[in-house]
Amino acid sequence: MSEHPAEFPGPRSKSVTFHLVGHAHIDPVWLWDWREGYETVKATFRSALDRLQENPDMVFAHSSAAQYAWMEAHPVLLAEVRAAAERGQWEPVGGWWVETDVNLPHGEALARQALLGQRTFERLLGRRARVGFLPDSFGHPASLPQLLRLSGLEAFVFMRPGAAELQLPSNLFTWEGPDGSRILSARLETYSSSPAQSHTSLSRNLAWRPAHLDTWLGLYGVGNHGGGPTVRAIANLRELAESPDWPTLQLSSFENFFTVVRSAPAPTYRGGLQHHARGCYAAVAEIKRLNRHAEHALLRAEKLAALAGQHAHPYPHAELRRAWEQLLFNQFHDILAGSAIESAMQEAQRELGEVLNVAGRVAFAAMQALADQVDTRSGDHTPQEVIRSRHWEPGAWVTDYGDGVPLLIFNPGARERNEAIELELNDWHTPNLRLLDDTGAEVVVQRLPSESVNGEGRPRFVFRAALPPLGYRLYRVVDEAPAPTETSLQVSSTHLENEFWRLELDPVTGGLRSLKDKASNLEYLIGTAAQLQVVRDDSDTWGHGVRALRQLVGVFGDAEIEVTEAGPVRASLRVHTRWRQSRAVQQFTLYAGSREIGGQLTLDWHEAHHAAQLVFPCALSGAKATFSLPYGCAECPADGQEEPVQAWLDVSGTARRENGQACPAGLSLLSDGPSSASVLGGELRLTLLRSPVYAHHDPATLDPARTYTVTDQGRHTVRWQAVPHGGDWVAAGVPDLAEQLQQPALLTREYVHPGTLPQQLSAARLEGLETVSLTALKQAEDGSDLIVRLHEWGGRASRGALHWAGQAVPVSLRPHQVLGLRLGTAGEVQEVNFLEEEMK
């Protein structure tokens, strides 16, 4: 399909009706900061209101509830907008807080886009959006139809990818998600026009009209930096409407258009609407990392606040809502994609840091509120000194640590966990340190160096905590000598081993040259893995025209390997490598009794027009690649092309044992920030970062006489886990493992006191729902009911129960379904959408 018409519509085109909707595309941040975006919104709203007064038949459509919230500081202007909406001339569209990127945010973040967006539209305009609207986002995942429908939206309008990037059966089609959700969707050719270009831009849009329709949709108005319909543009439209060579031009709305075409043929399309700009998913890596951390920090804080709320702790609605608004704003597509100017990206990073601080405060307050009520005593007696006491014995002061230091460890997940916990104590001046669980059984600890140089009296240690689902467990540090321990861990300068895995390192590159399952004797690698490679990347910030990043130019090497930990709990190797001006430090870790293979990479990057990748070549044939999406996943060709990815990706196929026997196997890679990857055959590549010039958009050329700032310079830290598995990733429970990496357990140190709560408590758990995750638990926006979100990720119909507060709630999910439940204080249960309203 051509993106440009060969000629204008013919003279008999009056039988075609062209629905024209006034619009002003406003990027709140792009080549400017949010302050300039704010100023643009205010001026554009004023101009649009003036045009509506002059043209009673005109409708102006605008998205982005956050921009309306800005205008609450200008109540007279906002009142005029509401009046225009009430008389049908102002149409809220999109339904979300901003025109977000939809490949990178967590699915629950998109749910909150709808919750906060639609509630704001209703509060400020008296009505909600009914049409989803993302004309400028750079791609749309296959899971989106369900999320749009759960947002209360009945139709969807987008622009990217264009016809040259994705062939669709029609520009009006029914988009069907993996769960079976369907939404009528229209692809436009452009979303804006200047007054001088209105003739051309409308012609281009009209050329995209499906041949079987006698009606189509177009937008008019200046965009990107706002503006909207002008006097001249409207006059041009009215002049064109009189031309016999143009169709019937009708000033209209999105809702009117979709009402007309609702019964028209619309072929079904299944799959993602991809790709427009693959490179943006690895540009400005720090914004991706902070976004991922902030999402999961808020989700974890909400769960803990909801748990504490069941025990009289006030739920911090206002604080959490402000934090979500700030996070969602910074998921705007030019911010989260890394395609805005440097100063705007730096400000976004500071704002995401603020979100993390809020989430941390909320979670800590909830833990403290619960800890106050837990009986932390050892037995039923209360010591005179709740912390410790000191007394003089001949020649020295002696500290009595009494019943020790209680530790409360909180699990934010709805499944049992066995997780590594690392902490320090204060004012502990004894060589003894013994850890007991709530039953009095000893738990093995491993002493570590203190974080502080002046670490006297601050012992640091690590242990594995066995935690109940969505609850807490008490552990206790006491002044006793620990029992002797044995360990399955073995470590040398080039190998790590526990009872499950044997890892061997390449002494030159510092990567893994062998990863062997000891039980099956299966080797998972066919080359050096966890190897840091460098590829050439001369594209712009968006990576326009780029399909793959595989022009290898270098490998980090000159490895220096050292054993950093060799104890009863874990063993670690640290590897120092370099390439040109850049340096890397990578830590490999195994735990006793755990199948977890952990890595942490710290990369100090100082290269331009290159990309850094972490590579895992797996010994697999017939490989299939699966990439996680917002509330979903997609199987993609293992053809080496870059794909957006969330917390995990997988390559699975057929492996061969040493005796030649074939067996199903694969490797999943979990990480806490990188959002772009590719799979070629059995080789998996996680693209960590890219270094184009900030906000460089082809075809603009770079001036060789000018010095530009390139992205992603300096220090970056990535945590990753490799999950080798027999069978497929579903049986390995990869999404649950990824959640544990993103939302680790939290702890609080407590003193000894009586209480009404037990030393171990599980508030919620899932029964018989092996491929279902509990992704959100929060208090409802309009009361004390609780909202629970469940997601079926394995593509299997699931039946079971959600246990909460002594109640077993029967649950049934279709494959890939996102299910919301509202749990009333009297035990009533409703199925709800993202707006926390009962499903109809």
- In this predicted structure, the answer to whether residue 7 has a pLDDT above a threshold of 50 is no
What's the N-to-C CA distance of the chain in angstroms?
39
Spatial distance between the Cα atoms of 169 and 171, rounded to a whole number of angstroms: 7
Residue 79 has pLDDT above 90, yes or no: yes
- The conformation of residue 151, written as its DSSP 8-state character, comes to T
For residue range 607-632, list pLDDT tens digits in order.
Answer: 999 999 999 999 999 999 999 999 99
pLDDT of residue 84: 99
Q: What is the pLDDT of residue 453?
A: 85
At 389 the pLDDT is 63
pLDDT exceeds 50 at position 679: yes
- For the cut 80, the answer to whether the pLDDT of residue 382 exceeds it is no
Coil, helix or strand for 305? Answer: helix
pLDDT of residue 381 exceeding 60: yes
Residue 416 has pLDDT above 60, yes or no: yes
pLDDT at residue 173, rounded to an integer: 99
Domains of the chain: 13-270 (3.20.110.10), 389-485+745-749 (2.60.40.1180), 490-731 (2.70.98.30), 764-840 (2.60.40)
Segment 738-746 shows an average pLDDT of 99
Work out the pLDDT band at 391, boundaries 50, 70, 90. Answer: low
Please say if the pLDDT value at position 249 is more than 80. yes
Confidence of residue 28 (pLDDT cuts 50, 70, 90): very high
Angle between helices 285-309 and 342-371 (to 10 degrees): 20
Nearest-angstrom CA–CA distance, 213 and 543: 35
8 A C-beta contact, residue 529 and residue 523 = no
Distance CA 287, CA 298 (A): 16
* Of residues 380 and 559, more confidently modeled: 559
* 1 has a pLDDT exceeding 60: no
CA angle 553, 555, 559 (to 5 degrees): 155
pLDDT above 70 for 48: yes
When pLDDT is cut at 50, 70 and 90, the band that residue 743 belongs to is very high
Helix (H, G, I), strand (E, B) or coil at 133: strand
Say what percent of the chain tops pLDDT 90: 90
The answer on pLDDT for 37 being more than 50 is yes
**Is residue 5 very low, low, confident or very high in pLDDT (cuts 50, 70, 90)?**
very low
**Residue 402 pLDDT level (bands cut at 50, 70, 90):** confident
pLDDT, position 388:
67
Q: What is the pLDDT of residue 507?
A: 96
| pLDDT at residue 183 tops 70 | yes
For residue 82, the one-letter residue type is: R
Q: Tell me if residue 93 falls in helix, strand or coil.
A: coil
| pLDDT band at 396; cut points 50, 70, 90 | low
Residue 221, Ramachandran bin (φ over 0: left; ψ between -120 and 50: alpha; else beta): left
Q: In the prediction, which pLDDT does 10 show?
A: 43
Q: Determine the pLDDT at residue 398.
A: 63
pLDDT in the model for residue 741: 99
Mean pLDDT of 191-203: 78
Band (209; pLDDT cuts 50, 70, 90): very high
Instruction: Out of 234-243, 522-531, 597-606, pick the least confident.
Output: 234-243
Q: What is the pTM of this model?
A: 0.97
pLDDT band at 2 (very low <50, low <70, confident <90, very high): very low
The string of pLDDT tens digits covering residues 566-593 is: 999 999 999 999 999 999 999 999 999 9
pLDDT of amino acid 192: 82
Phi/psi for 117 (5° steps) reads -65, -55
- Which residues, in sequence order, are bridge partners of residue 156? 132, 185
162-169 average pLDDT score: 97
Close Cβ partners of 655 (under 8 Å, ≥ 6 residues apart):
522, 524, 619, 620, 662, 663, 664, 665
* Percent with pLDDT over 70 in the chain: 97
Residue 836 confidence (pLDDT): 99
Per residue in 325-360, pLDDT (tens digit) is 999 999 999 999 999 999 999 999 999 999 999 999
Residue 193 has pLDDT above 80, yes or no: no
